[in-house]
Structure formats: structure tokens, C-alpha cells
Structure 1
């Protein structure tokens, strides 16, 4: 089954935004065979306002990426992580390139799938 990954990035190359400071997410779809396809950029309002988080804006940002299984961000706070978890989105902190981070997710999912097969 295919899945989507959102990356908090200012340039579409590196994961360089804290989730609460992100105003742009790059969305990539991963096919069953592990092929990547960039879908789109999604613009959101940044939930963090000089250290104060706007809960409504935070929830709206999460809803905008609710079709994604993972979100890549430079950092994520406990409150944002909890809201993401309620929407079944796994936040992953990294400062890698988007491509490298996605390759690592694909590799991880393949290893888990292989492990499940051998343990069944």
C-alpha cells in the first residue's frame, strides 16, 4: 500500500524547519515497490508565534498533512507530536536532505516487513 511523507523544508532539498515554524511542506508519495514521486508543495500558517503556539493553527497545519504517514522536520515539540499522533502521523526529526530521509524510511519499512515475514 502506498503512503505519503511530508517534509518541512524551506527549499525542497533539506529538512530544515521545526514543525511549529514550518509554513511549507513538500509531499512525496511512496509506491508499494518503493518508488518515490513528488506530489506537491502545501503551504500552511506557521503555528509558532515567537514562542507561543496557536493551538487552532497547529491543528489546521496537522489536518493539511493528515493524509501523510510521516512528517520529516528538524525538530518537533511534545504538543505538536501529540496532535500528529492523534492523526496517526509519525514525526521524525532529522536535518538530512529530504531524499536521504525518505530513503531511510523506505529501508526501515522494508526491514520491518522482512522481519514480520520471518517471525510469522
Structure 2
């Protein structure tokens, strides 16, 4: 793999599928993606879930986001507006992109390349 261009945190129960709600995730698969769209698994990062059966604790949400500050993107099966806003506030773009990890990363990479071609800016 070449040099990583960006880092993605993936909410997954098995590190194979993007199948977890951001707020319920107990861990994130962290991957680096290179300029060709190839990805390398870096680590499984354990966090304290930020959601308690529908209610959100702002301190937990902030701590959850702080655990992902080295990431550029978050992929989850579902993500609420509060978490999405908190991530965006730290320069991290989040997407609801359920599916197989490789497929979801391929879709994300295609979206990023499209934005770059259009001269767009992320987040």
C-alpha cells in the first residue's frame, strides 16, 4: 500500500460489515486508505458507547468523538444528527453507509474523488 491519504473509523460488530449505529458502537475498525483506494486495517479501537437506549449524554458523546480525532471520516449503519454535528465540528465527515467494509470504502472513495474532480471541499 502507498501512503495513506485519509483515515476512516468504521462502526462494525465484526470488522467485516458496516452494521453498527454510531452511538451503540463499542469499537471502531480504523483503516487507512491510499490514493488508489486500497485500504489497510490499522487497529480495532474500543470506545464507550455514547448512546443509552435513545438518550445521549453530551459528555459521553464528546469523549466518543475525541477517540476518533485522528480520523477524517466515520462510516456507520446509522448516525444521529447530534453525533454527526459533533464530528463535523471536529472536521470529521460522517456517512450512513451500511454494507460490506470493502464496498462501503469503495463508495466513500468514489464520492471523495468526485468531489475533488468538482473542486469541492469536504465537511
Say yes or no: TM over 0.5. yes
Quote the Cα distance in structure 2 between the aligned partners of 1:94 and 1:112: 17
Quote the Cα distance in structure 1 between the aligned partners of 2:72 and 2:90: 9
Number of aligned residue pairs: 116
Q: Deviations over 1:31-65 (max 9, x none)?
A: 23332111000000001112221111111111111
Residue 85 (structure 1) aligns with: 88
Larger radius of gyration: 1
1:60 pairs, out of 60, 63, 67, with 63
Residue 43 (structure 2) aligns with: 40
Gaps of 5+ in 2: none
Residue 106 (structure 1) aligns with: 109
Stretches of 4+ aligned residues off by more than 3 angstroms: none
Gaps of 5+ in 1: none
Greater Cα shift, 101-110 or 38-47: 101-110
Cα drift, residue 71 of structure 1: 0.4
2:8 pairs, out of 5, 8, 17, with 5
Greater Cα shift, 84-93 or 26-35: 26-35
Greater fraction helix: 1
Query: Secondary structure of 1:2's partner?
Result: strand
TM-score by length of 1: 0.89
Cα drift, residue 89 of structure 1: 0.8
